[in-house]
Structure 1
Amino acid sequence: MRLERSCKHLDKIENIGVILRPQSPELKNVYFKIEAMFLEKNINLILEENSANMIEKQGIDFDTLCKKVDFLISIGGDGTLLGLARKAFKYDLPVLGINLGTLGFLTDLSMEQLPKFIDDLLKDDYKINPRMIIEGQIKDKKFIAFNDIVISRKNLSTMLEVRAKIDKKAFNTYFGDGLIVSTPSGSTAYNLSVGGPIVYPLTNAFIITPIAPHSLTQRPIVVPADFEIEFKVTKDTGAVVIIDGQELYDLNKDEIIKIKIATKKSKMLHRSSRDFFEVLSEKLRWGN
């Protein structure tokens, strides 16, 4: 399958929606600095209402914001960007992440790089990368994930038994603490920390990685994203489904969670010079 390396560019750059890291009123001065940089280029910033209230400014509700702006900016870290990417998905808006955290696999733009990026933005020198999104469903409850869907045990003293099907055919039974179904974008998150593979972020694939499996034969596997995957917890030991580390749903005995690729992609706005392999080398200190 040929990879989609870039979406079309923005039609215009006049109004930008801004979401700040929650519960971080200390970002007020940072926001004013960013606002000044864009206003100098005659670009307006509009705050989402919760972010605005946090720094004692005026803002508008998220749905109205998305109808007014050309793209969105997340100011914080990867967690802030993840939450925004899911909320913005239905509006088909590109999202730019300004990194104020430490690791930043997704939010690659620093405050020091922002002035040049704004100039490049106005010169049409940037890229919008399409990122695979997972759709999940438990009974009539539907949700999406940018990074991963995790099935985890509730009780530390018990082991999960999870039966898996791929395209309606029995595939595996997992015994252990749980498992992760990750997108390529999420392969450098929880998946990486439990020994799963790193997958190039513009690939269309699911990464299924067991967490503390009770058998050496249970290994991570990468499968094409055109499969539909089902999981069922077969014992009444208590399980929870975690979406991008931010949303939780109970998964009861014999309930099925269905997972498939979304029909459209999330859009991530990046510097044209951003290179995934350079990010890996920097963040993971490869070669040091």
Structure 2
Amino acid sequence: MARIGLVLHPRRDCSPAVNQVLTWTSTNEVELVASADDVTRLGLGGLHPVSVEELAGTCDGIIALGGDGTLLGAMRLVVDRPVPVLGVNFGNLGFLTEVEGADLDAALGALADGRVTTDLRECLVVRHGEGESIAFNDVVLARVPGEGMVEATLSVAGRRYGHYRCDSLILATPMGSTAYNYAAGGPVVSPGVQGILVTPSAPLNGIARSLLLGPGEPLRLELTDGHPAVELDGVLTGRLEPGRVLEVELRPDAGRLVRIEGSRAADRSRVKLSLLDLPLLPQELLELVPEGLRRRLADAD
């Protein structure tokens, strides 16, 4: 990789991690660039500020410093020319990111040694009128308080399937199955499976269970009532009126995620997922750690 782009969390200060990457690129003959807005916001030196368009169109790879949202934003940024994206977690959950922030130096060493692979990921292509949008995790139609429930008719591959009446309607990729889909009671699906998950949240009547469609089965949603908000990968993008139609299909090989050889990312994600089911606050989880180990960890800090 001759040129690597940084995509940074929009609010968190990732300057120490940026400096780690700068040190690595300066000794590996790699040019490091970031958007001019991020360079100005954090007062970063030593890397080349570029426009978002140049960042998306000229980099050989991307390093996303933040959390799952930052990683998804980086993947959407380069969806027209998918290049490898390495996710480094400085957020809360980090289901999708490959490495934790503390392991960044080791991950950069693996990049330099070529001890990496890439996994292909599909995305959802959403067409509404003349517009087209992209989501790697999920598309959500969410009830707005006082604006009625989400009511929509589903057609699959041109044939009417049924009707939904619910608080939210979630369309997810397998990669995004651990997000809102999981919170709404939908299944966790391996990223190795291709398809579209359709899961209603708090259904009042109509279709009440998750539906997994095949990769070659485009779906059509016609809104019959309600004025829901539309979220793409957790980002609010607008509102819908009754009569509006969304057409959604799967685009294969739309993203490339960097995987480090010997990484324990999958194991960490399974643990994080199981912890979500515990009725405890994050700080209360420390009470599950033996007291002796807690003291040793405190002494190490």
Fold equivalence (TM over 0.5)? yes
Matched, 1:151 2:138: no
Task: Indicate the residue corresponding to 1:4 in structure 2.
Answer: none
CA RMSD in angstroms, aligned pairs only: 2.1
**TM-score if structure 1 supplies the norm length?**
0.88
* Displacement after TM superposition at 1:207 (Å): 0.7
Distance 1:281 1:61 in 2: 37
* Displacement after TM superposition at 1:123 (Å): 2.5
Counterpart contact for 1:233–1:239, Cα < 8 Å? no
Task: Indicate the residue corresponding to 2:232 in structure 1.
Answer: 243
Residue of 19, 22, 27 corresponding to 1:32: 19
Task: Indicate the residue corresponding to 2:39 in structure 1.
Answer: 52
**Higher fraction of helix:** 2
Counterpart contact for 1:38–1:118, Cα < 8 Å? no
* Displacement after TM superposition at 1:275 (Å): 5.7
Residue of 213, 224, 236 corresponding to 1:223: 213
> Given residue 268 of structure 1, which amino acid in structure 2 is its aligned partner?
L
Q: Deviations over 1:246-267 (max 9, x none)?
A: 1412221111100001254211
**TM-score if structure 2 supplies the norm length?**
0.84
Q: Deviations over 1:44-97 (max 9, x none)?
A: 321121211111235100221234321011111111111121111112211111
Structure 1 runs not aligned, ≥5 long: 1-12
Return 63-72 or 220-229, whichever deviates more: 63-72
Structure 2 runs not aligned, ≥5 long: 276-287, 289-301
After TM superposition, the structure 1 = structure 2 runs for residues 118-137 of structure 1, keeping only pairs within 5 Å, are: 118-137=108-127
Return 190-199 or 240-249, whichever deviates more: 240-249
Larger radius of gyration: 2
Matched, 1:188 2:178: yes
CA gap of 1:175–1:102, structure 2 versus 1, over 3 A, is same
**Superposed structure 1 runs of 4+ greater than 3 Å apart:** 274-277
Distance 1:92 1:157 in 2: 39
Q: Deviations over 1:133-187 (max 9, x none)?
A: 1100111111110100111222346222211000111111011112100001100
Residue of 131, 141, 144 corresponding to 2:131: 141
Counterpart contact for 2:122–2:252, Cα < 8 Å? no
Task: Indicate the residue corresponding to 1:92 in structure 2.
Answer: 82
Identity of aligned residues (%): 25
Task: Indicate the residue corresponding to 1:199 in structure 2.
Answer: 189
Secondary structure of the residue that 2:193 maps to in structure 1? Answer: coil
- Counting matched residue pairs gives 274
Residue of 2, 19, 25 corresponding to 2:7: 19
Distance 1:33 1:117 in 2: 11
Distance 2:108 2:15 in 1: 20
Distance 2:78 2:254 in 1: 11
* Displacement after TM superposition at 1:27 (Å): 2.1
CA gap of 1:136–1:204, structure 2 versus 1, over 3 A, is same
Matched, 1:109 2:95: no
> Given residue 44 of structure 1, which amino acid in structure 2 is its aligned partner?
E
* Displacement after TM superposition at 1:23 (Å): 2.7
